[in-house]
Amino acid sequence: MTPYDRIRRQLDDNTAVLLDGAIGSELVRRGIRWRGHGLRTDPDQVQALHAEYIAAGADVIRTNTFQLNDRIYLNVFRDPDHRRHIGAPGLETRAHDLTFRAVEMAVAARDESGTDVAIAGVMAPLEHCFRPDLAPDDSTALKQHGEIADWFSQAGVDLLLLESMNNVGEARMAAEAAVSSGLPVWVSFIMGPEGAILSGEPLADGVRAVDALGVEAVLVNCVPPEDTAHGVEQLRMATSLPVGAFAQVGRFDPPSWKFEFHPRFTDSGDWSPEKYAEKAQGWRGAGARIIGGCCGTDPNYIRALREIL
């Protein structure tokens, strides 16, 4: 039985599947330099965080690849010729190389743990996840997400998680590319304050678009805990697929997720791990089968979820 076979059996049995918590925001909180997702300077710390989530009880750990794609290494240049002219050596393959490094760190943590935790290769919007207006056209999205899905397939992840999708068009193209890899695919959407996808499109439209392509689960993420139950309810009304949620705690403190900038979530208020887990019981009651943590959470939140779920 493969690690994902076990996950699929849990979903079929309506047993809760526990995702891990934040990677990027937690590494930054620990003082890890965000450049290169910390994979060039502190890969041991990335592996250690994966190991902590496994020890906390996660059934699925996510690769440290959120918004890791070639565009982040090209957007600061005029075009590819300009990048080749003045860019540092290796920039053209850096996203590819770091993706493989990220999978290696997750696999190493799993191997050392002696568990069969599943590894989800994280794909995300090609531009900033909070800016659906920057989404690429369909042909560009399909091509670039297809490249990323191929990298993950070669690297040996157990499933693909399309995380923080912010508009229907790119979600559809990313899901098409991901499903074509032959790996199981989950898709998670960001909701705006009005309860729709961040682009303003109905969440049900996004769910139906990716459901038709053969994904195996749909989720909501990167929304405050108090808004998450509404998202789960919308998912359950739109599909018969397993649904899930992983919420953020705290507030986003820009500038950005790029290069030297440090993505921080601050002012978590009274969202302690225990209170978060209690709230997640409501998501479970609303039909969520997959539950974890998003930005601002850490292994303590996953441990609390394991204890209460």
Is the separation of the CB atoms in 148 and 69 below 8 Å?
yes
- Among 9-13, 15-19, 254-258, 298-302, which is the least confidently predicted range? 254-258
Sign, CA dihedral 25-31-35-39, equals negative
DSSP assignment letter at 88? P
Would you state the pLDDT for residue 277? Answer: 97
Would you state the pLDDT for residue 31? Answer: 86
Nearest partner of 295 among 200, 162, 163, 192, judged by Cα: 163
Cα of first residue to Cα of last residue in the chain, in angstroms, is 24
**Tokens encoding 131:** 């800016």
**Tokens encoding 181:** 């890899």
Sign, CA dihedral 13-293-202-283, equals positive
Question: 265 forms bridges with which residues in the sheet?
Answer: 252
Q: Go through the domains of the chain in sequence order and give each one's CATH number.
A: 3-308 (3.20.20.330)
Q: What's the CA gap between 301 and 114, in Å, rounded?
A: 22
Is the separation of the CB atoms in 224 and 238 below 8 Å?
no
| Residues 135-169: tens digit of each pLDDT | 999 999 999 999 999 999 999 999 999 999 999 99
| Residues 196-249: tens digit of each pLDDT | 999 999 999 999 999 999 999 999 999 999 999 999 999 999 999 999 999 999
